[in-house]
Chains A and B, each alone.
Chain A
Amino acid sequence: MAKEQFRFYTRLHLSELTGLRASTLDQLLKLLKQVPGSSIYYHTHRFLQQHQYLSPEPPNDFAYWVSEMVGEDELAEQLASIDTVQFRNIRSLRDEIVRTVEAYLRSKPLAKLRFSSIGEEFHFVKAVSFVIPTNNVANNLAEFLQIIKRITIDSIYYHVFEARLRLEQETNDFSNWIATALGDTALADEISRLDPYTRTLEDLRNSLIAIIDKRMGERRE
Chain B
Amino acid sequence: MINVWVNAVNKLDEYGPIVGPAILDDLRLIAGKLKGKKVQHVNSTAVGGGVAEILNRMVPLLKELGIDTRWDFVKGGEKFFNVTKKFHNALHGRAEEITRGDFETFMETSRQNIEEFDASGDIVFIHDPQPIALIKKKKNNKWIWRCHVDVSDPNARVWSFLMDFIEQYDSAVFSAPSFSRRLPIRQFLISPSIDPLSDKNKDLPEDVINDVLEKYGILRDKPIITQISRFDRLKDPVGVIDAYQQVKKYTDCRLILAGGGASDDPEGIEVLNEVMEKAKKDKDIHILLLPQDDIVINALQRASTVIIQKSLREGFGLTVAEALWKGKPVVASNVGGIPLQIKHKYSGLMCRSVQGAAFAIKQLLNSPEYAKKLGENGREHIRNNYLITRHLRDYMLLFLSLFYKDDIVYL
Interface residues of B in 163-193 (CB under 8 A from A): 174, 177-178, 180-183, 186-190
**In the complex the two chains form, is A53's CB within 8 Å of B177's CB?**
no
**In the complex the two chains form, is B182's CB within 8 Å of A52's CB?**
no
**In the complex the two chains form, is B344's CB within 8 Å of A68's CB?**
yes
**In the complex the two chains form, is B188's CB within 8 Å of A132's CB?**
no
**In the complex the two chains form, is A15's CB within 8 Å of B26's CB?**
no
Q: Which residues of chain A come closer than 8 Å to B397, judged between CB atoms?
A: 12-14, 128, 130
**In the complex the two chains form, is A152's CB within 8 Å of B23's CB?**
yes
Number of A-B residue pairs at CB separation under 8 A: 105
Q: Which residues of chain A come closer than 8 Å to B178, judged between CB atoms?
A: 119, 121, 123
Interface stretch of the complex, out of B7-15, B39-47, B257-265, B401-409: B401-409
Q: Which of B343, B407, B410 contacts A51 (CB 8 A)?
A: B343
Check A134/B25 contact, CB under 8 A, given A52-B384, A54-B377: yes
Interface residues of A in 1-51 (CB under 8 A from B): 10, 12-19, 36, 38, 49-51
Number of interface residues of B (CB under 8 A): 44
Cα–Cα, bound, A57→B174 (Å): 27
Q: In the complex, how many angstroms separate the beta carbon of A168 from the nearest chain B beta carbon?
A: 12
Q: In the complex, how many angstroms separate the beta carbon of B387 from the nearest chain A beta carbon?
A: 13
**In the complex the two chains form, is A131's CB within 8 Å of B344's CB?**
no
Q: Which residues of chain B come closer than 8 Å to A120, judged between CB atoms?
A: 334
Q: In the complex, how many angstroms separate the beta carbon of A26 from the nearest chain B beta carbon?
A: 20
**In the complex the two chains form, is B26's CB within 8 Å of A154's CB?**
yes
Q: In the complex, how many angstroms separate the beta carbon of A31 from the nearest chain B beta carbon?
A: 13
The reply on B295 being an interface residue by CB < 8 A is: no
Binary per-residue interface labels of chain B (376-411) against chain A in the complex, 1 for a CB within 8 Å, 0 otherwise: 010011001100000001100110110000111111
Cα–Cα, bound, A119→B187 (Å): 19
The reply on B291 being an interface residue by CB < 8 A is: no
**In the complex the two chains form, is B33's CB within 8 Å of A150's CB?**
no
Q: Which residues of chain A come closer than 8 Å to B182, judged between CB atoms?
A: 19
Cα–Cα, bound, A128→B25 (Å): 20
**In the complex the two chains form, is B401's CB within 8 Å of A132's CB?**
no
Q: With CB as the reference atom, state the residue of chain B lying closest to A201.
A: B384
Cα–Cα, bound, A53→B183 (Å): 35
Interface core residue of A13, A17, A134, A152 (most chain B CB under 10 Å): A17
Check A131/B177 contact, CB under 8 A, given A14-B397, A54-B377, A150-B21: no
Q: Which of A19, A52, A68, A127 contacts B187 (CB 8 A)?
A: A19
**In the complex the two chains form, is A128's CB within 8 Å of B152's CB?**
no
**In the complex the two chains form, is B381's CB within 8 Å of A123's CB?**
no
**In the complex the two chains form, is A17's CB within 8 Å of B29's CB?**
no
**In the complex the two chains form, is B188's CB within 8 Å of A19's CB?**
no
**In the complex the two chains form, is A131's CB within 8 Å of B411's CB?**
yes
Cα–Cα, bound, A132→B29 (Å): 8
Cα–Cα, bound, A152→B380 (Å): 16
The reply on A151 being an interface residue by CB < 8 A is: yes
Binary per-residue interface labels of chain B (135-153) against chain A in the complex, 1 for a CB within 8 Å, 0 otherwise: 0000000000000000010
**In the complex the two chains form, is B189's CB within 8 Å of A12's CB?**
no
Q: In the complex, how many angstroms separate the beta carbon of B187 from the nearest chain A beta carbon?
A: 4
Q: Which residues of chain A come closer than 8 Å to B177, judged between CB atoms?
A: 17, 123, 125
Cα–Cα, bound, A131→B33 (Å): 12
The reply on B1 being an interface residue by CB < 8 A is: no
Binary per-residue interface labels of chain A (152-183) against chain B in the complex, 1 for a CB within 8 Å, 0 otherwise: 10110000000000100000000000000000
**In the complex the two chains form, is A19's CB within 8 Å of B22's CB?**
no
Check A131/B29 contact, CB under 8 A, given A15-B189, A17-B177: no
Q: Which of B29, B33, B409 contacts A129 (CB 8 A)?
A: B409
**In the complex the two chains form, is B22's CB within 8 Å of A131's CB?**
no
The reply on A135 being an interface residue by CB < 8 A is: yes
**In the complex the two chains form, is A129's CB within 8 Å of B344's CB?**
no
Cα–Cα, bound, A135→B29 (Å): 9
The reply on B289 being an interface residue by CB < 8 A is: no
Q: Which of A53, A127, A155 contacts B380 (CB 8 A)?
A: A53
Interface core residue of B26, B30, B33 (most chain A CB under 10 Å): B26
Cα–Cα, bound, A68→B346 (Å): 13
Interface residues of B in 10-67 (CB under 8 A from A): 20-23, 25-26, 29-30, 33
Cα–Cα, bound, A53→B343 (Å): 12
Q: With CB as the reference atom, state the residue of chain B lying closest to A162.
A: B408
Cα–Cα, bound, A14→B401 (Å): 9
Q: In the complex, how many angstroms separate the beta carbon of A19 from the nearest chain B beta carbon?
A: 4
Binary per-residue interface labels of chain B (357-384) against chain A in the complex, 1 for a CB within 8 Å, 0 otherwise: 0000000000000000000010011001
Q: Which residues of chain B come closer than 8 Å to A17, judged between CB atoms?
A: 174, 177, 180, 187-189
Q: Which residues of chain B come closer than 8 Å to A199, judged between CB atoms?
A: none
Q: In the complex, how many angstroms separate the beta carbon of B338 from the nearest chain A beta carbon?
A: 11
The reply on B349 being an interface residue by CB < 8 A is: no
**In the complex the two chains form, is A127's CB within 8 Å of B343's CB?**
no
Q: Which residues of chain A come closer than 8 Å to B394, judged between CB atoms?
A: 14
Q: Which residues of chain B come closer than 8 Å to A155, judged between CB atoms?
A: 22
The reply on B335 being an interface residue by CB < 8 A is: yes
Q: Which residues of chain B come closer than 8 Å to A52, judged between CB atoms?
A: 380, 384
Q: With CB as the reference atom, state the residue of chain A lying closest to B150.
A: A119
Q: Which residues of chain A come closer than 8 Å to B33, judged between CB atoms?
A: 132
A-B contacts, 12 listed (Cβ < 8 Å): A19-B187, A51-B343, A68-B344, A125-B177, A130-B409, A130-B411, A132-B30, A134-B25, A134-B26, A135-B25, A152-B22, A166-B408
Chain A residues with a Cβ under 8 A of chain B: 10, 12-19, 36, 38, 49-54, 57, 68, 119-121, 123, 125-132, 134-135, 150-152, 154-155, 166
Given A16-B186, A36-B407, A119-B178, 9 other A-B contacts at CB below 8 A?
A: A13-B397, A14-B398, A50-B381, A53-B384, A120-B334, A125-B177, A128-B397, A131-B410, A150-B21
